Chain A
């Protein structure tokens, strides 16, 4: 089965609302890395979060290893937040620290 599951697959909100994106994983984890993928395709690393909570401006990432989940919270969303958000699990013990990606959440804002 899929090791990393992201939800929801798509999310449409009004500008100013808060968004919560989830990533659940079924395997052991070294860390979770969250990315924003621009409409043109390039990746922007948002967080590298092995555990606990991290903040960056309006973004908050929380990784709870015991519950096998990581979340990305966007507060007071803006139209510039539109795009695809990807989570990626860094697996331990693979000799490569490879990332296993979720399929992404497509996030759209209504002005």
Chain B
């Protein structure tokens, strides 16, 4: 069974502080993604990566950095956390190649910025 794990599962951060969210997958997938979900809305793509040591901007990258140190690990970094970044963050992975391949999601990290 494909597995995507996230840590921490929840976090409270202060405005202006640095936050790092981590994602680990054991799927042997090349693609990894970070999405955020705001209350009452669907998910939106922040950053993604298709190979280690390389990341790409998604649809809403402002205020976020990403890091892919290995195929298995993908981090999302908030250098200066702001109130507007309070949300639930989901990580996902997908295999590279082929037209049809679903994304597998982690359990989510609930971030509250105060």
Q: Which residues of A contact B (CB under 8 A)?
A: 4, 30-31, 33, 35, 41-43, 45, 48, 50, 86, 88, 90, 92, 95-99, 101-104
Q: Are B42 and A41 in contact (CB under 8 A)?
A: no
Q: Are A103 and B45 in contact (CB under 8 A)?
A: no
- List the one stretch of B14-22, B61-69, B70-78, B103-111 in contact with chain A: B103-111
Q: With A30-B99, A33-B103, A42-B107 in contact, is A99–B43 under 8 Å at CB? A: yes
Q: Tell me the minimal C-beta distance from A29 to chain B in angstroms.
A: 11
**B 4-23 binary contact with A (CB < 8 Å = 1; else 0):** 00000000000000000000
Instruction: Pull 14 A–B residue pairs with CB atoms less than 8 Å apart, ordered by A.
Output: A42-B108, A43-B108, A45-B102, A45-B103, A48-B102, A50-B99, A96-B31, A98-B33, A99-B92, A101-B43, A102-B42, A103-B42, A104-B40, A104-B41
- Bound state CA distance, A86 and B37, in angstroms? 12
Q: Are B42 and A33 in contact (CB under 8 A)?
A: no
- Chain A residues, CB < 8 A from B90: 43
- Bound state CA distance, A30 and B102, in angstroms? 11
Q: Which residues of B contact A (CB under 8 A)?
A: 31, 33, 35, 40-45, 48, 50, 56, 58-59, 88, 90, 92, 94, 99-105, 107-108, 110
- Bound state CA distance, A50 and B101, in angstroms? 10
- Chain A residues, CB < 8 A from B31: 96-97
Q: Are A96 and B42 in contact (CB under 8 A)?
A: no
Q: With A96-B58, A98-B58 in contact, is A104–B101 under 8 Å at CB? A: no
- Chain A residues, CB < 8 A from B41: 103-104
Residue from A33, A48, A99 in contact with B45 in the complex, judged by beta carbons closer than 8 Å: A99
Q: Are A48 and B108 in contact (CB under 8 A)?
A: no
Which residue of A has the minimal Cβ distance to B98?
A97
